[in-house]
Structure 1
Amino acid sequence: MLSALRGIVQAVNAAGDLQTALEIIVERVASVMGTEVCTVYLRDPESGRLIFMANQGLNPELIGKISLGPDEGLVGQVARREEPLNLDHAEKHPNFLYLPGIGEEQYHSFLGAPIIHQREVLGVLVVQQKDSRRFDEEEEAFLVTMSAQLAGVIAHARATGSINAPQGAVAASALFKGIAGAPGVAIGRAVVIVPPAELSSVPKRQSEDVVAEQDAFERALNSVREDIRQLSDKLVDQLSPEELALFDVYLRILDDGVWLSEVTDKIAEGEWAQGALAQVVSNHIHAFEMMDDAYFKDRATDIKDLGRRVLSYLQAGDEEQEREYPPDTILVGEELTASMLGEVPRAHLVGMVSVRGSSNSHVAILARGMGIPTVMGASDLPYTQIEHANLIVDGYSGFVHYNPSAEVHEHFRALSQEDLVLSQGLEALRDLPCETLDGRHMPLWVNTGLMADVARSLDRGAEGVGLYRTEIPFLLRERFPSEEEQRIIYREQLLAFAPLPVTMRTLDIGGDKALPYFPIDEENPFLGWRGIRVTLDHPEIFLVQVRAMLKASEGLDNLRIMLPMISNVQEVDEALELVRRAYDELLEDGWDISLPPIGVMVEVPAAVYQARQLARRVDFLSVGSNDLTQYLLAVDRNNTRVADLYHAYHPAVLGSLRSVVEAAHLEGKPVGICGELAGDPAAVLLLMAMGYDMLSMNDNSLLRVKAVIRACKFEDLQDLLAVVMELDTADEIRGLLRSTLAKVGMERLLPPRSGG
């Protein structure tokens, strides 16, 4: 059964559109289970009705023409109750509904299973037989498993179906869910950027010169043929005749008239050579992978290898043509990188969408620093098919609108304009003190990682740097930066903010931040080798970085050093010993420096419970609310399947935040917070009431947070906190905070409710 299930899923994944996928499902499931009827009903999102969409065994003329309400028939019961229904006499069930003309009156046995994706019922999968019998446990288990496996495939196919409109037809609108990477709204046209020689990443694109594309394809084929011949000649003395025969197989595949003619036909229809090659080769790969014979399965690997070789030559020729970027470019790719970002003229780049990646990935950090609305992790977006399409990027909620309707376009145009007016209005607060109506001052610091952040941060009234991400200079290179290279970078930051304090976090890699030249390959990277764990295992990296920081601080004395991902006091003790060692060595070398304040990041639950012991050893604590929330709730916020469960207002998170403040203050040490929560205008009300001594945030949030603080009384916040801590859910807390801001006229500062 398992191999049959895999075969069906593979076949459905290879389908070009939703209807083809459904037809494959009913045909293959009926065959594997040996049933006379198999049907898929899909739920219409607007009406909620279950539509007869694909069938094997009943009247095909009624496909798409009849439907059932959620309270009608056995199918409606399966969908409504979200559980399987197994009957030997379906016609005797009180919910049985006879549908004239469909032809199911002769079938007595009925087994239906709901198709559910992320808690949403997408439809129902049904099998039926003439003989009166209950399907056995194995059959029922198979259909339930089949439904669960197909749910994601159907959800993806349904979401992307409108994008596969026939050429010349008007494509429908579609909505794709991702993760908010950088706030704001972008309205523009998709420009798809692809990595080299990756077949699955090549976008569909109309060519302007069919003859030139055909010639390019022929040249690429000839180049690959020559490469294979040369490789065969080079290895003739090292391989046996049987092994050398592989190269003959490659050459025969390259000369196969079937797939070559398919490529040339697509080019003749107007597809560019790269797209034609990728589509044809991918179809052949899927066909071979679905075969049971091991020999033919191996041929899929050969075809993929050859396809990539031909593609690399096509791309080499394509590089000669300089890419054009329209003035409203929305950059789209499977996994955007900093180098891709750098290729687009800044004045033309209005937004970005990455199919893979997280809100903490390097490109997302860059996007926030540059003020480019960005959505990450839009995994269902068929990015290869949307070149030049109209898109709206909602960087507040993480949604991407494809081919938006006039109403949606106008809504987001107005939202973007409101955002601009609001930002301009907040500029008046730049030089005003950040204090409540009753005189309570709250220092607002900034999170940085790029020199581009400096001017904006100071211009918006930042009083210091609560988090300087030192890993960014490491990410921008192809090797570890030297001590002197690091010193120069750190000196620029310290000088730019002097005499204001700058908190430099020691190298924090691992998790979703991997250096290309120092890969960390782990099954569970967020619970693995990251942060201080890496640098303590590599003291040569840690010492070089600390020495560079200390040297950079000479004559300025505004450096603070912060240790990430601390989970026990031993790590702190070891790190402190290394810092003091580096300091003593520099003093011996004649450097005129002071030992800076050293702090610890509270990011894991263990650090919350040992906050007081940690505070005794260091000069300050700083909560990293992003990771702390993630670890407390066991939710990867970069995983779209569970991102909805990531609630920074969760009572357990707020309780932990308050206990850290209490522990630090009992030891007489200041405590700040530098996660996304610090820049949340609503959360600031609670953080101030808890007693946080400093808030550090993205520079785009500084004036919004200042506006809220200046509109409130500190004495009222204690009562608000007391009420919040008695609430049971994040939604209740969010609602109370929103209404509190509304009472002081500040609800407009919250992210707009603009998602799908």
Structure 2
Amino acid sequence: MLSVLRKIVQEVSTAPDLESVLDLIVRRIQRAMRTQVCSIFLFDPQLQRYVLRATQGLNQEAVGQVSLSMGEGIVGQVGQRAEPINLEDASRHPAFHYLQATGEERYHAFLGVPIIHHRSVLGVLVVQQVEHRRFDESEEAFMVTVSAQLAGIIAHAEATGSVNGEQHPQARVQPQRDRHFNGVAAAPGVAIGTVIVATLAAELETVSDKRAVDMEHELASFRAALASVKDDIRTVSQGLAQRLQSDEQALFDVYLRMLDDPALSDAIEQAIVDGNWAQGALREVILTQVRQFNAMEDAYLRERATDIRDLGRRILSYLQESAGPVAIDCADDSILIADELSPTMLGLVPEDKLVGLVSVSGSGNSHAAIMARAVGIPTVMGVVDLPFTRLEGRQIIVDGYSGRVYVNPSDKLLEAFREVIREERAVAAGLESLRDLPAETTDGYRMPLWVNTGLVADVTRSLERGAEGIGLYRTEIPFMIRDFFPSEQEQLNSYRSQLEAFAPRPVTMRTLDIGGDKALPYFPIEEDNPFLGWRGIRVTLDHPEIFLVQVRAMLRASEGLNNLRIMLPMVTSVHEVEEALRQIDQALTELQEEGYAVQRPLVGVMVEVPAAVYQVRRFARLVDFVSVGSNDLTQYILAVDRNNPRVAGLYAAYHPAVLRALQYIARETRKEGKPVSICGEMAADPGGSLLLMAMGYEVLSMNANNLPRVKSAIRGVSLARAQSLLTRVLRMDDAEEIHQYLRQSLKQLGLGQLTRPRLPHQTGDSA
């Protein structure tokens, strides 16, 4: 059964549309289970009914015509309960509803399992037989497993169909309006614009459909690429002729025959003539042939699917190379979408025309996401079900607050989001006057506001918004944008630019924090659970040659400025802190002996894991300051990977356990007379900043784009009022209740414009 399951999933995953997906599923499952009937009912959110969308065994005329309401019939019961129903004789079940058009009166045995994707019931998978019998446990387990494996494929195919209006011919054919897809909110803000799809090098699945501007040019490009691949194969074959046996040599002849086959080249050229550009035509034909070979019973022929895909990639590589840097015709409001955004892709669109970013995979802490936040571009990552290759040239909405992407937006939804954008601009304009004013409460309490940086571009933006220092400089970014470890001098240059720009203001540099979701291409860390693995201080202490070079570069960069602070990430034990301090002192001594006029900077630790929370006083005795990394701390306390779209909704910055941990850290650090600061999403939220101020945090560090809002909130309230808010919040037991209470409190204080804008609520499907 396992091999059957793998084959079904592999074959179905390459089907071109929803109708093909469903038809393949019912045919393959009916054959695998040797049952008389297999059917799929999909839930239609507009009709609020389960519609028969595919069947093998029932009357084909009933497909698209027969449906059941929620809870109606046994199918409705399966969907309502979200659990399997296995019956010896379905007609005896109290919920049985006879569907005359299907011709199912002959069938008695019934097994229905729900198709569930991201907690939503997409539909019901059903098998039936004439005999009076219950399906056995292994059959039921197989159906449940198949359903779970295929749910994502069905969801993606359904989404593609609804977006493009390619649903079953007997169902609706108009594209679904206001369809939204859920991801991870990576950079706040709202964008409305035209999609540009960034294609990965030689990856067929990421090639988008585009109209051929010059058909003859596209045909010539394809023929030249095909000829180049043939030449490559002949060259390799001749070069290895003396080293390979005749059977192995014959493999090259197989490749050449495939490329010479008119069925391949003619089909691609016909797709170009029909209007697709060469790369899109290649993808269309190659993947179709891959599906056909995968479906064959003969093992040898199935293996040819891999060969066809390989040849397709080779041709695509030449097509992309000959095209050179793609000249993108950008609209004034362009939204860039990619399977996985990279920093280099951001350069495909001029900065003045780029309004939004979307990545199908990737996390909120990826390099691209960090850059997007730095330049203030609304971004959503991890939109796994988005049919992005079909969206070139479409108008979409990117909601960087909730992590949603809206496709085929209606005029009503567009206007609602345009109003959100107008409100954002009005608030931003009103906050500009606060730049040179202090973040001081109405009763005279002064709260320093610092920024988190990592790019040179961050400096100007931070100073323009009135930043008083840097609370977190991410030193890993200069490492991430290179193909090898930067030298001491290269690091010195990067660090000096930050220190000089902010002098005499303090600049807190976090030592190299790689691992987890921050990988270096030239220093790969492969782990099953990277967030609980080799990351942060653990890596650098294991590689003192990396740590010492970085510390030396920091110290040399601060010479004559003396505004450097060094911060140690991901500490979990006193031993780690002591060893890091020893190495910092070693680097300091070496430099002083070499004649550099460097001073020992303030050194602190980041509290990011629960283990550090309960040792914070011991850490405080060893170092000069304590800083909380609230994003990671929240993630570890709640055991939620906030970059995983499946559980990102469980990430709650205002969770009572998180708030109590933050209050404990501030109280315990103050007992040792050491300053305590915080950087992360909570510090960047106007309501959260008031709670942190009331807890006793002495510095708030945030993204520069959020600084004006936080400053306005602090200037609009007294410290006593903030402390009263905190007292009330700490008595609450629910994160959402706390969030709503803070929102209402800010409104009562006349600061409602600072809260996250109220976004249009839609009742359409979510994927």
Are 1:549 and 2:554 an aligned pair?
A: yes
Matched to 1:102, the amino acid is: T
Aligned twin of 2:451: 446
Query: Residue 10 of structure 1 contacts residue 290 of structure 1 at CA under 8 Å; is this kept in 2?
Result: no
| Aligned counterparts of 1:130 and 1:297: Cα–Cα separation in 2 | 34
The yes-or-no answer on 1:391 pairing with 2:396 is yes
CA distance in 1, matches of 2:154, 2:199: 26
In 1: Cα distance, 2:537 partner to 2:704 partner: 26
Shift of 1:639: 0.8
Q: Deviations over 1:549-585 (max 9, x none)?
A: 1111111111100011111111111110110011111
| Alpha-carbon distance between aligned partners in 2 of 1:523 and 1:244, rounded to the nearest angstrom | 39
AA matched with 1:45? P
Where does structure 1 differ by over 6 angstroms across 4 or more consecutive aligned residues?
A: none
Pick from 600, 603, 606 the counterpart of residue 611 of structure 2.
606
Query: Deviation at 1:238?
Result: 2.1
Alignment of 1:478-557 (within 5 A): 478-557=483-562
Contact 1:17–1:164 (CA under 8 A) maintained in structure 2:
no
Aligned position for 1:379: 384
1:729 is matched by which residue type in structure 2? Answer: D
2:383 counterpart of 1:411:
no
In structure 2, C-alpha distance between the alignment counterparts of 1:565 and 1:142, rounded to whole Å: 43
Identity rate, percent? 59
Q: What's the CA shift for 1:71? A: 2.8
The alignment status of 1:253 with 2:258, answered yes or no, reads yes
**Is 2:110 aligned against 1:116?**
no
> Alpha carbons of 1:172 and 1:77: their partners in 2 closer, same or farther (altered >3 Å)?
closer
1:308 aligned residue: 313
Contact 2:159 2:387 in 1 (8 A): no
Residue in 1 aligned with 2:176?
Answer: 172
* CA distance in structure 2 between the aligned counterparts of 1:226 and 1:110, rounded to whole angstroms: 58
Matched, 1:326 2:334: no
Q: Which moved more, 1:333-342 or 1:554-563?
A: 333-342
State whether residues 43 and 50 of structure 2, in contact with CA within 8 Å, keep that contact through their aligned partners in structure 1.
yes
Partners of 1:549 and 1:320 in 2: CA distance? 37
For residues 338-395 of structure 1, the C-alpha deviation after alignment (integer angstroms, 9 at most, x for no partner) is 1121232111111111111111111111111111111111111122221111111111
Which residue pairs with 2:60 in the alignment?
A: 60
User: Partner residue of 1:217?
Assistant: 222
- Map 1:199-210 onto structure 2 (within 5 A): 199-210=204-215
Determine whether 1:37 maps to 2:13: no
Which of 683, 687, 694 in structure 1 is aligned with 2:688? 683
Q: Which residue of 1 aligns with 2:580?
A: 575
Q: Normalising by structure 1, what TM-score? A: 0.97
SS at structure 2 position matched to 1:105? helix
Contact map agreement 1:22 1:54 (CA 8 A) in 2: yes
Partner of 1:27: 27
Distance in 2 between residues matched to 1:612 and 1:322, nearest whole Å = 57
Distance between the aligned counterparts of 2:293 and 2:510, measured in 1? 50
For 1:393 and 1:339, locate their aligned partners in 2 and report how far apart those are by CA, in whole Å: 21
- State the partner residue of 2:154: 154
Q: Secondary structure at the match of 2:599?
A: coil
For 1:301, give the aligned amino acid. T
Distance 1:366 1:252 in 2: 47
SS at match of 1:38: strand
**Post-superposition shift, 1:170?**
6.3
Opposite residue 742 of structure 1, the aligned amino acid is K
Aligned in 2, Cα 1:463/1:289: closer, same or farther, shift over 3 Å? same
Label 1:300 to 1:20 Cα distance change in 2 as closer, same or farther (>3 A): closer
Aligned-residue offset at 1:657: 1.1
1:335 touches 1:355 (CA, 8 Å); kept in 2?
yes
- Which residues in structure 2 correspond to 1:448-487 (within 5 Å)? 448-487=453-492
Q: For the residues of structure 1 that align with 2:639 and 2:296, how far apart are their CA atoms?
A: 40
Contact 2:11/2:294 (8 A) holds in 1: no
Distance in 2 separating the partners of 1:26 and 1:637: 36
Deviation (angstroms), 1:121: 1.4
Please give the per-residue CA displacement for 1:732-755, whole angstroms capped at 9, x wherever unaligned: 221222222121122332222437
- CA gap of 1:343–1:124, structure 2 versus 1, over 3 A, is closer
How far residue 416 of structure 1 moved from its aligned partner, in angstroms, is 0.7
Q: CA deviation at 1:325?
A: 2.2
Is 2:73 aligned against 1:69? no
Q: 1:59 to 1:292 in 2, by over 3 A?
A: closer
CA distance in 2, matches of 1:123, 1:626: 37
Cα deviation, residue 166, structure 1: 6.0
Q: Displacement of 1:422 after TM fit? A: 0.7
SS in 2 for 1:347: coil
Could you say which residue in structure 2 is the equivalent of 1:145? Answer: 145
Letter aligned with residue 127 of structure 2: V
Distance in structure 1 (CA, Å) of the matches to 2:608 and 2:294: 44
Matching residue within 266, 271, 278 for 1:273: 278
**Counterpart position of 2:721:** 716
TM-score by length of 2: 0.96
Compare 291-300 and 407-416 and name the one that shifted more: 291-300
Query: Displacement, 1:523?
Result: 2.2
* Residue of structure 1 in register with 2:132 after alignment: 132
Distance in 1 between residues matched to 2:19 and 2:514, nearest whole Å: 45
> Structure 1: which 5+ residue stretches go unaligned?
none
Aligned residue for 1:558? 563
Q: What CA distance in whole angstroms lies between the structure 1 residues aligned with 2:545 and 2:634? A: 32
Q: Tell me: CA distance 1:668–1:456, structure 2 relative to 1, closer, same or farther (3 Å).
A: same
Deviates more, 1:605-614 or 1:693-702: 605-614
* Count of aligned pairs: 755
User: How much is the aligned-residue C-alpha RMSD, in angstroms?
Assistant: 1.8
Q: What corresponds to 1:80 in structure 2?
A: 80
Partner SS, residue 8 of structure 1: helix
In 1, the alpha carbon distance for the partners of 2:90 and 2:348 equals 63
Indicate if the aligned counterparts of 1:449 and 1:472 stay in contact, CA closer than 8 A: yes
Q: Residue 97 of structure 1 corresponds to which residue in structure 2?
A: 97
Q: How much has 1:101 moved relative to structure 2?
A: 2.8
Tell me the distance in 1 between the aligned counterparts of 2:701 and 2:753: 21
The one-letter code of the counterpart of 1:748 is Q
Letter in 1 for 2:26: V
Which runs of 5 or more residues in structure 2 are unaligned?
Answer: 168-172, 763-767
